[in-house]
Amino acid sequence: MPATIPETPYWHAGPCSPEQARAYCARLARSHYENFLVGSLFVPRDLRQHFYNVYAYCRIADDLGDESGDPGTALALLDWWEDELNACFAGQPRHPVFVALQETNARFGIPLQPYADLLRAFRQDQVVTRYATYEQLLNYCRYSANPVGHLVLHLCGCRDAECQKLADATCTALQLTNFWQDVVRDYAIGRIYLPQEDMARYNVTEADIAARRFTPGFAGLLEMECGRARALFQDGLKLCALVDRRLRLDVEMFTRGGLEVLRRIEAQGYDVLSRRPAIPKRRQAAILVRRLAAGIVSR
């Protein structure tokens, strides 16, 4: 690894064959993210490897931004990853992820922008730890979450503006739900995603979050924020009717999973300070079975 780049487990000296690159991405996707298993089971077989390739890019970029423990190190690693991205689009991929992605990008006509937008968000996380307004938070989601939806749409062959708008609603809702679920975890790494104007409106302070002090004001704040995410999920569900029928289950499962997290936040009285709401695997399976029974997968 070049001396100017901090150590990372994702460094790869290369070269590697396309077969080795595809195996690298598949291994990473299967080992890192439980929810991705849903996609691997129900995404059409001819698209599965391409989903792995895109996921591997996103996973590594996210880890480089979050796991170094130091903003300066994270920024240097993200610069390195962007150099690898630019090399890929210049026709000279070096890292296995980009060797695999070159084939994906060529087949589906995926441009550089959504990949670059994600890096913009991960860089922002290193220097911005508070958001004054909800609009500022939505702008962050525009780069941290929505590009993933755009990448998936390319893989699904959807390029019209209505599909992108609905995918943005779903991706932003997923990001917001994660923020409301992880208020304590985010604070532990120095970040608060609850908009400051909303905190002030409900008389919630950073000291409350630091002390995990649950108040009626905090309950009101979370109820309002969860309502915003729920409305976005409901808008995004319209995307199911527009994507390839073989992919509808995946779109719906991510939405239903997000709505289930919101339901669990509500069920514990919006107290995410003392206990993090999560969906047990048995509950995930129940949601999946119910949607299958409802005929989400067309015969």
Q: Where are the domains of the chain?
A: 17-127, 129-299
Most confident range (mean pLDDT) of 153-157, 218-222, 235-239, 240-244 is: 218-222
Least confident span in 60-64, 85-89, 154-158: 154-158
Q: How many CA atoms lie within 13 A of 74 on its CB side?
A: 21
More confident residue, 82 or 253: 82
Q: Matching CATH topology for 17-127 and 129-299?
A: yes
Judge whether residue 172 has pLDDT over 70: yes
Residue pair 153/167 in contact by the 8 Å Cβ criterion: yes
Residue 158 pLDDT: 83
**Which CATH architecture is the domain 129-299 placed in?**
Orthogonal Bundle (1.10)
Terminal-residue alpha carbon distance, the chain: 50
Residue 12 pLDDT: 73
Average pLDDT over residues 29-46: 64
How far apart are alpha carbons 69 and 73 in whole angstroms?
8
Average pLDDT over residues 108-134: 96
Mention the CATH class of domain 17-127.
mainly alpha
Judge whether residue 292 has pLDDT over 50: no
How far apart are alpha carbons 117 and 115 in whole angstroms?
5
Please, what is the average pLDDT of the chain?
87
Average pLDDT over residues 6-27: 83
Judge whether residue 174 has pLDDT over 90: yes
